[in-house]
A = this chain, B = another copy of it.
Amino acid sequence: MTRPEITHDVRITDTTLRDGSHAMAHQFTEQQVRDTVRALDRAGVEVVEVSHGDGVGGSSFNYGFSLTDEMTLIAAAREEARQAKIAVLLVPGIGTADDLRRAHDAGAEMVRVATHCTEADVSPQHFGVARELGMETVGFLMMAHRTSPENLAKQARIMVDAGCQTPYVTDSAGALMMHEARARFEALVAEVGDEAWVGYHGHQNVSLGVANSVIAYESGVRYIDGSLCALGAGSGNSPTEVLGAVFDRLGIETGLDVSALLDAAEDVVRPYLHRWPKMDRNAIVQGWAGVYSSFLLHAERAGERYKVPPHEILRRCGELGYVGGQEDMIIDVAIGLAAERDRAGAAVS
């Protein structure tokens, strides 16, 4: 297997239209997708990810229904992109090989197969299908703070052996401190760097996504994710426009037109934001306690329903070690906290 050729020092993937789907409660319109892809493509972004926040097939009761069929969005994105490659996320257990084939037919040329950081062994079948289809392959090792650098590297090895061209350190909770991120980047580059690139996907829960992106580059990572206006789960991703400005300042070549990116964020994405992702209490608690970023809106809804502060729900989820795929447990946590509160109230009165 060979690494894909890359043309710049860093290959930026923008995930506004996939990770940002969480922050938009999966309500993207076709027009928003077209406008965003066009702006990203013109600004020199080489990979644009488009799908439900939880990947192809994610539109469901458990993860939230999409407003627009994602195959329609992928096809629209493909039409708008002159040079950018369209990518989709696929979480085994949520999306199927069939979803992947449909995404490929709609125009997706890259798949990012995402598993929990210790469960790479559920990914090989999907990498196999993707390689048969001739797609470029990325592997997401999610919640990468939850295992050691050594073990993460072993999981990356499983993915690469299965046909993954670029395994990613995926900091789903925005919880990786800089030295923790560096150790994971170095471990993956040492393990698979001869035959694969290594990637980094960060969140801004404690505002270290951009800093970790710089450290990623220093450590040999060449695929880095961002999203416009930081639009993504939790407090959002490393903003693509900030990555552009910082790499420009550092003289690291990305092929990005920073002014065009700043305009894309401000003039295309900002007008349709439900809310600007920010480091509020809920988001910081996710980074502090290491909670899956896409739990945010679920916890807010459960908190409203059961009259429990969402940040307490999120902190409990961190203590209990819940990971992506356990969204249904958030309701149980809220019910438990409400019961604790009621018992405490009864004891006082």
A residues within 8 Å of B by Cβ?
175, 177-178, 204, 206-211, 214, 230, 238-239, 241-242, 245-246, 248-250, 258, 262-263, 265-266, 270, 276, 278-281, 284-285, 287-288, 311
Inter-chain contact B278/A245, CB cutoff 8 Å: no
Inter-chain contact B206/A287, CB cutoff 8 Å: no
Interface pairs (22), CB distance under 8 Å:
A177-B249, A177-B250, A178-B211, A206-B246, A207-B210, A207-B239, A207-B242, A208-B211, A210-B211, A211-B211, A239-B279, A241-B284, A242-B279, A245-B284, A245-B287, A248-B288, A262-B281, A262-B285, A263-B281, A265-B280, A266-B280, A276-B278
Inter-chain contact B280/A270, CB cutoff 8 Å: yes
Q: How far is the CA of A287 from the CA of B190 in the complex (A)?
A: 34
Q: Which residue of B lies closest to A248 (CB)?
A: B288
Chain B residue contacts of A242, Cβ below 8 A:
206-207, 279, 284
**Which of A207, A263, A266 neighbours the largest number of chain B CB atoms within 10 Å of its CB?**
A207
Chain B residue contacts of A284, Cβ below 8 A:
239, 241-242, 245, 262
Q: Which residue of B lies closest to A241 (CB)?
A: B284
Inter-chain contact B206/A208, CB cutoff 8 Å: no
Please give me the 9 A-B residue pairs with the lowest Cβ-Cβ distance, nearest first. Answer: A211-B211, A245-B288, A266-B281, A262-B281, A207-B210, A207-B207, A206-B242, A206-B246, A276-B278
Q: A262-B281, A262-B285 are in contact. List 17 more A-B contacts (CB 8 A).
A: A177-B250, A178-B211, A206-B210, A206-B242, A206-B249, A207-B209, A207-B239, A208-B210, A210-B211, A230-B279, A239-B279, A241-B284, A242-B279, A262-B284, A263-B281, A266-B280, A276-B278
Q: Which residue of B lies closest to A258 (CB)?
A: B288
Chain B residue contacts of A204, Cβ below 8 A:
207
**Which of A178, A248, A284 neighbours the largest number of chain B CB atoms within 10 Å of its CB?**
A284
